Amino acid sequence: MNKIQKQKYQCREKMPFISRQRFDKSVPAPNALCWLCISLLLIGAASCTTINPGKWQLVWQDEFNSNDVDPARWEFEVNANGGGNNELQYYVTNNASVKDGSLVIEARKEKYTGPEGTRQFTSSRMRTKDLGDWKYGRFEMRAKLPKGQGYWPAFWMLPTDEIYGGWPHSGEIDIMEIVGHKPGTLHGTLHYANPERNHTFRGTNTTLVTGTFANAFHVFTLDWETNSISWYLDNQLYQTQTNWTSGTNVFPAPFDQRFHLILNLAVGGNWPGNPNTNTIFPQAMIVDYVRVYQKK
């Protein structure tokens, strides 16, 4: 079992170093849980809390057991706009496929020309907007991720209706983000607007003591409730947030509206940096399942 460390961070700035607008914008063995608790206490974690499955019921899932990506569950986003982050890829449909019971999103180093220009890398980005939209719930993915300079896999959520205005005022929930040059560190973040209506983001990063997220499958879970949002890695809680803002709107805005899921594998950008000569292509984000639960 991999052990984890965690580090909190909070940052506010008028123009974020990563704009997440994007223009729209192995489960641990039970007998090892005690060792994880001890490890977390030794590094200063306040508690070791596991998921309580009893209050949730499954309402949506994709186990990726079909022959291809299910159009009743996922919509492809095809663009080369860089996601608002100066990313390098052209998002196309051909880089996502279903193989051996898993979704495979592959980033390739290949020249591609489309309506929005020419790029030297391709990948895929998929969302559930208007196919699966939820207000509150548990959102879970089991996946194995790529590593190497310039890779940026993500499992995240955006508002479906933007009730409070464009990004970041209606919020963003990042369930899982990895930057490839730090392949053992997981980031979970909320984005929103502070009372001055400037972009604010706050979250925690959690680092595996041994191994990387490319070595084995891991389970990434987010519990979104009325007054709190909690992140889990392999069923272990590593952060909870209970206060956020949406300009001058009343709490719990903006996280009191419908959101949808997004899966993507970006190449390059302001945060991960661009690939270098040591970056291996192609590599893939391999997803075993995505599941959504709501309270019974």
- Domain annotation covers residue 286: yes
- Domain annotation covers residue 2: no
106 assigned to active site: no
Q: Name the DSSP class of 38.
A: H
- Domain annotation covers residue 140: yes
Number of structural domains (the chain) is 1
- Domain annotation covers residue 102: yes
pLDDT in tens, 136-164: 999 999 999 999 999 999 999 999 999 99
- Domain annotation covers residue 18: no
Q: What is the mean pLDDT of the chain?
A: 87
More confident residue, 7 or 174: 174
Q: How far apart are CA 123 and CA 91, in angstroms?
A: 5
Q: What is the pLDDT of residue 54?
A: 80
Q: What is the pLDDT of residue 7?
A: 54
Please identify which of the residues 87, 116, 177, 225 carries the catalytic annotation. 177
Average pLDDT of span 79-95: 96
Tokens 């996280």 label which residue?
A: 255
- Domain annotation covers residue 16: no
pLDDT in tens, 197-252: 899 999 999 999 999 999 999 999 999 999 999 999 999 999 999 999 888 899 99
Domain hosting 132: range is 26-295
**pLDDT at residue 66 tops 90:** yes
13 assigned to active site: no
Classify each residue of 266-284 as buried b or exposed e, where b means 16 or more C-beta atoms within 10 Å of its C-beta: bbbbbbbeebeeebebebb
- Domain annotation covers residue 17: no
Please identify which of the residues 77, 106, 140, 172 carries the catalytic annotation. 172
Q: How far apart are CA 67 and CA 74, in angstroms?
A: 14
CATH number of the domain that 274 lies in? 2.60.120.200
- Domain annotation covers residue 144: yes
The rounded Cα 225 to chain-centroid distance in angstroms is: 18
